Structure 1
């Protein structure tokens, strides 16, 4: 593999993560719908930033999560995307004016895809294409129990960011 090809590849590793809960704003969509100009995900990000949730990031976990859950079938079916924060199950978070959704992510084994450093709107779609083609050829099987993107907000710069995408596997 040439050096330039390597630069565009994400890094991959396997990690077991404990169960967690995410609270945030949600939308139901499909990958097909998101490929066109009428995609709902960019508007969902706007809703997240307008909701004031970012101000409620916990000190322990300065990250925003984009959780893909409630899959209808597989990568081609409908799913729910919740963009939000990790919450403690036992802490009731003050609801903002926005109707917030909460979802639990079970403990799972994940194939983690770490993007190259680059513009957010470039590296995230790029890594998802890599994920889809990886699982078309891999012996590893996705479980569709909940996949998520984790955005570390401590040194967040949308022009130069690295995003970890966690894909639940058997």
Structure 2
């Protein structure tokens, strides 16, 4: 395998049912996140300080980083929520704890599975690949809700794999 292929993510299509995510969130843009004032790193700290990771669903031992409520496309504002998948009828009183809740509609996704590696390296790398892919591809993003899924059963931030789900037409 050549070195350039080693950095490529694996890509496949998957149809997923609707789900709800509850967690900590912020409104931001990709432009803001590219600079030193990005809000997402502090949001990860807030998620772990909140203890939410101890409340992962038994059915789904994963943390979700959800991009939702898009203003327009990749250049516009969006809401970013780091949280857990919840059952509709188990929703905690979100407002009292400062938590946000969002529904992710059922959709067809292009899934980008990263290579195994350090989290702080592979996630930005796969997003650059995603943006490049959709600039060149006939596949169209719907901007109805995209997410990163972190499987916590065998999680090691220095050596992990992340699946990024991009909603497509």
Partner of 2:140, secondary structure, is coil
Conservation of the 8 A alpha-carbon contact between 2:150 and 2:163 = yes
Q: Does the 8 A contact of 1:51 with 1:96 survive in 2?
A: no
Poorly superposed stretches of 4+, deviation over 6 Å: none
The alpha-carbon deviation at position 94 of structure 1 amounts to 6.1
Report the equivalent of 1:127.
126
Q: Which position in structure 2 is the counterpart of 1:168?
A: 167
Aligned CA RMSD, in angstroms, stands at 1.3
Gapped regions of structure 1 (runs ≥ 5) = none
Tell me if structure 2 keeps the 8 A contact 1:52–1:96: no
Question: What is the correspondence of 1:1-150 to structure 2 with a 5 Å cutoff?
Answer: 3-93=2-92, 98-150=97-149
Shift of 1:91: 1.2
Structure 2 length as normaliser, TM-score? Answer: 0.97
Q: Is the 8 A contact 2:10 2:114 kept in 1?
A: yes
Tell me the secondary structure at the aligned position of residue 90 of structure 1.
helix
Instruction: Give the count of matched residue pairs.
Output: 169
> CA contact under 8 A between 1:110 and 1:168: conserved in structure 2?
yes
Answer whether contact 1:16 1:108 (CA < 8 A) is retained: yes
Q: Give the alignment's TM-score, normalised by structure 1.
A: 0.96
Spell out, residue by residue over 1:113-141, the C-alpha distance to the aligned partner (whole angstroms, 9 max, x if none).
Answer: 00000000000000000000000000000
> C-alpha distance in 2, partners of 1:32/1:94?
32
Deviations 1:79-109 (A, max 9, x none): 0000000000011336697400000000000
Does the CA-based 8 Å contact 1:21-1:102 persist in structure 2?
yes
Deviation at 1:3, TM superposition (A): 1.4
Q: Which runs of 5 or more structure 2 residues have no equivalent in the other structure?
A: none
The answer to which of 92-101 and 130-139 deviates more is 92-101
